[in-house]
Amino acid sequence: MDRNMLIGLLLMGLVIFGFTMLQSSPEEAASAATETTQVDKGKDAVQETAIDSLSQKDLQRMATIVQQYGQLENRSGKEVMALNYENVTLQLDGGVLSGVVTMQGDMVYMLDDLKGQPVAGDRLKQQAIKDVKQAAEMAARYAGFSRFIGGEEKTARLENNLITLDLTSKGAMIAKATLKEYTALLNGKEGPAVIFNKESNNYGFAINTSTHRFDTREFNFIPVQENDSTVLMKLDFGEGIMFGVRYTLPANSYLVRMEVVQQNMKAVIDANVATLGFEWNQKMLRHEKGHTFEERNSGLYYKFKGEDGDVDYLSETSNDEETITNNLKWVGFKDQFFSTVFIADKHFIGANPMRSQVIEKNTDDYESHLKNLQFISTVDYKLDDEKPAAFYIFIGPNEYKLLSSYDDKISPDEDLHLTRLIPLGWTLFRWINTGIVIPVFNFLGSLDLNYGWIILLLTIFIKLILFPLTYKSYSSQAKMRVIAPDIKAINDKYPGTENAMKRQQEMMKLYNLAGANPMSGCLPMLLQMPILIAMFSFFPSCIDLRGESFLWAPDLSAPDMILEWEANIPIINWIFGHHLSLFCLLMTVVNIIYTYINMQANPSNNQMPGMKWMMYLMPVMFLVFFNEYAAGLSYYYFLSLLITIAQTYAFRYIIKEDKVRAKMAENAKKPRKKSGFMARLEEAQKRQEAMLREQQKQRRR
């Protein structure tokens, strides 16, 4: 049906409706209205009777439900079938159904009080009838699990010297995880590092039969403290039938052992059930003051099953969703410095689906939360297996050495690649960070120095590694400046494309005399770039800097806000946000000074149109770009630029241009063996000249 047909049908309907209204008399309209009112009243009466009374049919259904799903209890010296749900208790004794409903204000209704029509306007009594019906329907819905619906929530606690876990009986979940050695923001206030709480996180298992779905998050488990480090959350069906989740927290560890345990569940669950559903939802809490990097480095990560399984992740900057059919070894919800990871002993059977939803600005949750994350999967399940599923749960800091150590502890036969939770850059930059930067940084950290001084020592160390390349680059630049007039003379002497080969040959002779190479100035700088980029990834991810102060910066992992404002200044806020970082400002000033020094040393750059303007614009762009970044990163680049300026003046003192000319004159007197490149260049020139002569002969003919 296209748009024109739809419009035509609507117009026809309006015409028919209008014609009908015009043909109806006022008496007919009034009669129709009266009939409609009577029908509505009849419906209300039926609805009221259905909701606010217990019919014989309702009582018979309740008796059947109690008989099927109730539990034998000893009451007044006799065994009766009983069903308990929140404020309702139903029992069946010799085929006779009775019950009690406890309402607010200690009002108690017997089941006999609720039969027939209630007193008009007695809302409390009407609510009691609804509660009884709901209790019966919930029992039917959850079958043998109905006895575990409702009831008082109970808690248990596991803790060691690193972490505190609060367990809740509702759903047998870890309701709250707190790291003892870290602080973090919670709803904008500084306090203990709560990685997640009951309001922000839930997970559970689901057993799907042909007729029912049993979700552990809907049941109230019984907490049993087996020892100081182990709590069992169990559903006790009686007669040796049990289903539960056991948690074990070893000393000095961020790893929690979680095991699904069961006994004789064949009496409750269909024999054809082969998988156990798993669902995990989290509204990720915000922990850091610097919004930009925390948002950019938070998301859902996962690793495919297998020794060489890749680690992948959903988009960290936009909403993303993915369905995966391959088996997964682990899935993790991570933010900038902390992660929660479920690591399966066997594997997760794909993901259907996994989602990441960014919490938008100008919403109520933005200041306290980062993303909405969801992971839905299944695991293998066997009714006759006492431990059908088992996991390790990592709840802790994204520390490289710590995460690397868990590979051998958890899975000696498969590299878990948990360190991929730390964004250290692409492969080349990651190698630099893991092979050089992190070991040196950890060694310096063991010296018990302030991290501001550690960054200074690390910067000096990196500059020492790069010193040969830096010296080679500056030396080549100095030689190129010396021979610049000679190069110009060669260009003037051999102009045009027809003299290109000759011009190139003369320049190569000049380079050979000066010991210079036009590429030797650029190549060392290019070789330094991977280290600079690696440091760009390292500092915002280094949890050791978190909360460490230096000079005016209270936290080297966050922007050092020397100036803040709340006013809405359109252009300024768009460029800088609502603050100005001092280390970033100092880095920009030093960068402008360094640019000026370079421009003075290479006056040829000033002759290029727009080059001077572009060279000074780049440091200003860095000010805008780095203002939101960690103070430690800006501080590192500030120190690096200062040392580079010092090296520049030192090289000027060491490498004298008159010595370069003297060396060239000395080289000119010595017989020099042609390099392979020069020999090939001359041979190519000879072939070109021969070709030109042949072409000239052809023209004369």
436 located within any domain: no
Q: Examine the pLDDT at 437 and tell me if it is beyond 90.
A: yes
What is the distance between the alpha carbons of residues 685 and 66, in angstroms, rounded to a whole number?
103
Tell the burial category of 360 from Cβ atoms under 10 Å away from its Cβ (0-12, 13-18, 19+). exposed
Domain-ending residue, one of 118, 148, 178: 148
Structural domain for 77, as ranges: 56-148
The residue with greater pLDDT, 361 or 230, is 230
Closest to 277 in 3D by CA, of 355, 169, 389: 389
Least confident interval from 270-284, 560-574, 648-662 = 560-574
430 falls within a domain:
no
Q: Is residue 535 domain-shared with residue 490, that is, in the same domain?
A: yes
Question: What is the 3-state secondary structure of 395-451?
Answer: EEECCHHHHHHHHHHHCCCCCCCHHHHCCCCCHHHHHHHHHHHHHHHHHHHCCCCCH
Tell whether 677 and 692 lie within a shared domain: yes
Does residue 33 lie in a domain region?
A: no
The reply to whether 71 falls in a domain is yes
Model confidence at 203, in pLDDT bands (50, 70, 90)? very high
pLDDT in tens, 504-554: 777 777 777 666 666 655 665 677 788 888 988 899 899 999 989 999 998
Question: Do 119 and 194 lie in a common domain?
Answer: no
- The Cα 498–Cα 502 span in angstroms is 9
**Number of domains composing the chain:** 4
Same domain, 202 and 338: yes
Higher local confidence (pLDDT), 561 or 512:
561
Q: What is the pLDDT of residue 48?
A: 39
Residues 337, 456 share a domain: no
431 in any annotated domain:
no
Residue 144 has pLDDT above 80, yes or no: no
**Same-domain check for residues 549 and 676:** no
Residues 86 and 60 in one domain: yes
Domain finish residue from 423, 443, 472: 423
Contact assessment for residue 129 and residue 218, using Cβ atoms and an 8 Å cutoff? no
* Same domain for 553 and 574: yes
Query: Would residue 8 count as lying in a domain?
Result: no
Tens of pLDDT, residue by residue over 601-653, are 665 555 555 566 777 788 888 888 888 888 899 999 999 999 989 988 888 88
Q: Could you tell me if 206 and 338 lie in one domain?
A: yes
Is the confidence at residue 655, as pLDDT, over 50?
yes
Instruction: Say which residue, 53 or 419, is predicted with more confidence.
Output: 419
Is the same domain home to 594 and 536?
yes
The residue with greater pLDDT, 636 or 46, is: 636
